[in-house]
Structure 1
């Protein structure tokens, strides 16, 4: 037998390299074949997918995508396929997609596909599926997702699906997001046991029955528009007719009692109109508009100081609102219960001879004595800033405190971000969102200036406490109340006490409100509600920043931005800047977290469109996502 001939190391390595290149070329050819087969099954694809041409270039060159709608991995394989907003129709050839061996994310969002749900279970390694905003219809088979154990995200919203929610979704152990809103699903909601399920939305369907206990901590907006659903977080499932009558009677009595406690009519005369006009001329002079104790002569309590021992009187903290109504006018006003929050109930009084006002009833506000409480309310009344909701009046007893303010017709930022939009109804656009966050930051800076002795100048900064006027100008509410609220209650419910420094170290700092600002920025950009805000007390420390950080680090895709955000128009670089600002504001390490001053400066630099050079950031985020360098076009290559 002839002796074996050994290959030299050089020849061996050369053969390995040639073999790997041939395999890569084979994979690229296979991907091109699969994609072209898919293209042939689609309508309106010639223009949208015009550069899909294997004779000119392959789909991928390394991790660089040559064909529109692709994202490639380092091996030159198609990893993500995103054919969104292209007016595509026809049939999605799933068999062709099976030929993409490394496909992990598939999106045909916002196109014109019709008919039955594609047989996606053949794509067993898929991690993300987006078919929202099409015209798919009919029942989805119960086993439609059988065996897709890698699925993390399933988005089927705003189609015309009918029947039951597919049972196979329940078995997806890694499922993090399920979006089914705006369809015609009926029957009961299955019991989803996944502990990692962070986003769940079945609003605007035809579902009925009790909401499973495993979903009871989800936002109530995720279940609205289903007349037959009940149970937490919605109303109770069963109650007798007699019980409803008792509740109505109690509410009516409560409203009447509150109305009788204090008269809180105000009329917006010429002075209020002049004040509003002056506030509308904000522009870049916001730093001088924050008026506090140094200019308080015109806003002292009307009628002089309170008289010790005097209860049962409504005190006005703004002279332009005093003496313009009486109890008789108030009792003739209609009253509406707005809701019951963590501090108490809110009521809207609709007056016959003036605009509506809101009365908030606080029961857990006994941390101050009477004199301290009066002094603190006077300080709040002296504040004047175009982005702070003015306190009009207050009422004090040992058990109850009432705070009276204007009624803001356009609702809260939370309602605009998380309420379910009707088909075709636009969400908040980028310029509006940027305007809102600039106003919030300016108002927060005013609170820091006027309450230098408070560790938490706001303390409860969240989207439901950012009200929007008719021009979407933000107005902060429920600010500077931490000194008055019972400590135990504050730590259970207020946003500042969800911060990492409190949940981990049992302390708050001057940067804690900055953390709340950062979470608000991320909520505004992503459209996701901070789920940890719904938990009472410390609970788990998984916040919105954790999710954003994981998405950006693991995927670095446009998934992080709200799909309902319109009016982007070359503003992607500015959006990324704000995203980085938000992450720097809610950095877990307090020492590395930005000061409010730095955050405000960076926010003020942002433009509605990408018209300025990148700025340098000194923020360091764990995982080395955010680096100290100028932002370049490459940062947003993932959106192509």
Structure 2
């Protein structure tokens, strides 16, 4: 009897605890929504991992941040019906349900205010364009292609000011698209619909494939509009299609006569004559337009040619004349005291390097690469095919030839895969040239900010992280190359991070700040540390600050010096990039910091946040709080998953304290 009573009590306790036990896996508020979706849509039980015994954040296709479902990717699982239950996942940022059999109209999505990526292509959705999508103001990517949507594409789509991708191809959308204006759009396609009318100028830069298979759509990049049917209510006779090439309706079969408005046909002969007259008049007009255009073009050519020649005649610098030959001003090396101080090329010993003289540079074919705070850089192709980069120093103050040569000797001994090597220099009283190894793939600045708009290939996250690591290694090597004197780069910025032939980042323009004149404040202050007041005395800590700004530039896609002069920023008419990032992060909108072009990549948010934390540490207002570059290298490589082995040759000691530095703050002292 006692045994039976004991078993009954044990059973009663278990029964009373059962609701509590069963409630534990489902304590997450998103559990109910996901299970409701599975029950309604997963008829083939493809989501077998979705069960009450496992944490939902470990379920197939589910990703969480702090126990909230942030990403749901369920592609090609034969899911059916509606995804209405998922609209209660208020923290959802990525939703991809591509290649299923979901159907019906799109449910109200206004609750998904954090959504950034929405992919619903290759399903069986129908109805009109989902109006609730336009309330998702943070949306970057929208793909509704290969469904059965109908009706017009509403102009309120323009409310999606952050949208980068809009894919609506292979549906049944109709009506005009002339009102669409999405300035940040990079990926756009409305082909295979029933759209009519003119393509707006804001979309004309996309390729033909973005618009084809819309029989009544016209304008660039398609054929020019010519009285095209633009009224969606206008009826087209059976068996005919409206053509953007003619004002009438073109017959789709030989037995259907085209409609003709205007004059009444009296006979075939009269009609034929009118057609011939019309053709002759058209030819006359076209020829006249061509002649007028040729005359205007000739006059403009003469005007601009004369201006160009006058400009080049007045140019006293290191210009591009006579088929891009380098030409100096008349008599750059005047005779002095009989023999004159012409100077000579001084080379640094490097295995296999080819020697050349100043005359070889004078004969070299050249093109200007850019202008910086210390001079103009040129790409020079010597007669023997050797390619170098030549920097002509200007607005520099050199105490004397000996001081210049001693400093060049320090710079010339720097050899590292992530540092652009100084191959030679030329010194004369009135002319100073630096010859560097040529980097064929341009600068980080051009990679990030050049060719923005349709057709641009964005810089992917892996490449940005690789560039950050390479530039950090190069800068750390410069910092650790000499114990005395301590060396600082002095001019870290995206234009001074170049890419070699395999895409490795290399820092250039290092060690030249010691020659800056007292009044030569850098034109762009976006990278300048707040404690810097003298352009000649840039410390290693100031380099770390500038490198932190460079990391923010990689993460945000914004130019520091553009933001530095932007009005209406809330900081007295100007704001620098670090302060803007800090203000956004303080408001807990960290995701708004990152470049829109990075939002297409999956599973990188943690890495981006990690690099952002490094950048914010580097841009600390207090120099003592900034990490040493060796430690920065270590942290970046940890994000990349690369094991770092301490080596003086690579980037210096990474075992030092992350904050302590024996940098004296004096740049390069002689």
TM-score by length of 2: 0.54
Partner of 1:299: none
C-alpha separation in 2, matches of 1:243 and 1:379: 50
DSSP 3-state at the match of 1:554: coil
Are 1:336 and 2:367 matched, yes or no?
yes
What is aligned with 2:326? 259
Larger radius of gyration: 2
Aligned to 1:543: 577
**Which of 543, 552, 567 lines up with 1:522 in the alignment?**
552
CA deviation after TM superposition for structure 1 residue 457, in Å? 1.0
**Cα separation, 2, equivalents of 1:411 and 1:47:** 53
Quick one: distance in 2 between partners of 1:554 and 1:241? 56
C-alpha distance in structure 2 between counterparts of 1:461 and 1:117, whole Å: 54
Residues 578 and 452 from structure 1, CA distance in 2 versus in 1: closer, same or farther, beyond 3 angstroms?
same
Contact 2:121–2:143 under 8 Å retained in 1: yes
Report the secondary structure of 1:457's partner residue. coil
Distance in 1 (CA, whole Å) between partners of 2:450 and 2:302 is 32
Query: 1:472 is paired with a residue of what secondary structure?
Result: coil
Q: 1:327 to 1:309 in 2, by over 3 A?
A: closer
Q: Summarize the Cα distance change of 1:163–1:341 in structure 2 as closer, same or farther, 3 Å threshold.
A: farther
1:325 alignment partner, SS class: coil
Asked whether the 8 Å contact 1:51–1:67 carries over to 2, the reply is no
Per-residue CA deviations over 1:182-201 (Å, capped at 9, x if unaligned) read 55997667xxxxxxxxxxxx
Specify the SS of the correspondent of 1:129: coil
In 1, distance between residues paired with 2:505 and 2:444? 8
CA–CA separation in structure 2 for the residues paired with 1:165 and 1:366: 58
The 5 Å alignment of 1:111-510 reads 119=129, 122=132, 125-131=135-141, 143-145=155-157, 153-156=162-165, 166=180, 179-183=184-188, 205=206, 240-242=300-302, 244-246=304-306, 249=309, 254-256=319-321, 259-261=326-328, 311-320=341-350, 324-326=355-357, 329-330=360-361, 333-341=364-372, 343-366=374-397, 369-396=400-427, 401-419=432-450, 427-428=459-460, 430=462, 433-450=464-481, 457-493=488-524, 496-497=527-528, 499-502=529-532, 509-510=539-540
* Inter-CA distance 354–82: structure 2 relative to 1 (3 Å threshold): same
Match of 2:111 in 1: 101
Tell me, what secondary structure is at the counterpart of 2:434? strand
Distance change in 2, residues 1:68/1:326 (3 Å):
closer
Deviation track 1:134-189 (CA, whole Å, cap 9, x = no partner) reads 8699999683247x5xx77333378889966746x7xxxxxxxx621355997667
Structure 1 pair 308/403, CA: closer, same or farther in 2 (3 Å)? farther
Deviation at residue 389 of structure 1 after TM alignment: 0.7
Instruction: Kindly state the Cα deviation for residue 383 of structure 1 after the two structures are TM-superposed.
Output: 1.9
Deviation at 1:341, TM superposition (A): 4.7
CA drift of 1:483 comes to: 1.5
Pair 1:342–1:324, CA change in 2 (3 A): closer
1:322 shift after superposition: 8.0
Alpha carbons of structure 1 residues 163 and 308: separation in structure 2 relative to 1, 3 Å: farther
1:78 is paired with a residue of what secondary structure?
Answer: coil
Distance 1:104 1:352, change over 3 A: same
Give the whole-Å Cα distance in 2 for the aligned partners of 1:457 and 1:586.
17
What is the deviation of 1:390?
1.2
SS in 1 for 2:163: strand
Which residue number corresponds to residue 304 of structure 1? none
CA distance in 2, matches of 1:375, 1:188: 58
Equivalent residue in structure 2 for 1:560, among 594, 600, 607: 594
**Preserved contact between residue 51 and residue 68 of structure 1 (Cα < 8 Å):** no
Q: Which of 547, 552, 561 is 1:532 aligned to?
A: 561
Worse-superposed segment, 578-587 or 102-111: 102-111
**Cα deviation 1:544-600 (Å, max 9, x = unaligned):** 5743772586245597377559998x8876655444322221223434322334324
Do residues 512 (structure 1) and 542 (structure 2) align? yes
Deviations 1:199-225 (A, max 9, x none): xxx99559xxxxxxxxxxxxxxxxxx9
Q: In structure 2, which of residues 87, 92, 102 is the aligned counterpart of residue 80 of structure 1?
A: 92
Residues in 2 aligned to 1:600 and 1:82: alpha-carbon distance in whole angstroms: 32
Q: Structure 2 vs 1, CA of residues 507 and 90 (structure 1 numbering), >3 Å: closer, same or farther?
A: farther
Whole-angstrom distance in 2 between the partners of 1:358 and 1:122: 55
Residues 412 and 465, structure 1, Cα contact 8 Å, conserved in 2: yes
Deviation at 1:395, TM superposition (A): 3.9
Secondary structure of the residue aligned to 1:464 is helix
Structure 2 unpaired stretches of 5+? 1-26, 74-86, 171-175, 190-197, 208-220, 222-298, 330-336, 567-571, 645-653, 660-670
Indicate the residue corresponding to 2:628 in structure 1. 595
Is 1:582 aligned to 2:615, yes or no? yes
**Distance across 2 between alignment mates of 1:449 and 1:115:** 61
Q: CA deviation at 1:502?
A: 4.6
Pairing 1:69–2:65 present = no
Change beyond 3 A, Cα 1:583–1:134: farther
Question: In 2, Cα distance between the equivalents of 1:530 and 1:58?
Answer: 41
Deviation of 1:513 after TM superposition, in Å, equals 0.9
How far 1:89 moved relative to its partner? 7.9
TM-aligned CA deviation for residue 96 of structure 1: 0.9
> How far 1:476 moved relative to its partner?
0.9
Distance 1:361 1:566 in 2: 42
Question: How far apart, in 1, do the equivalents of 2:112 and 2:377 lie?
Answer: 54
Q: Summarize the Cα distance change of 1:109–1:352 in structure 2 as closer, same or farther, 3 Å threshold.
A: farther
Q: How many residues align?
A: 481
- C-alpha deviations, 1:264-313, integer Å up to 9, x for none? xxxxxxxxxxxxxxxxxxxxxxxxxxxxxxxxxxxxxxxxxxx9996544
**Distance of 2:145 and 2:308 partners within structure 1:** 42
Contact 2:544–2:619 (CA under 8 A) maintained in structure 1: yes
CA shift for structure 1 position 478: 0.9
Task: Please tell me whether the aligned partners of residues 459 and 480 of structure 1 are also in contact (alpha carbons under 8 angstroms).
Answer: yes
Q: Which residue of 1 aligns with 2:665?
A: none
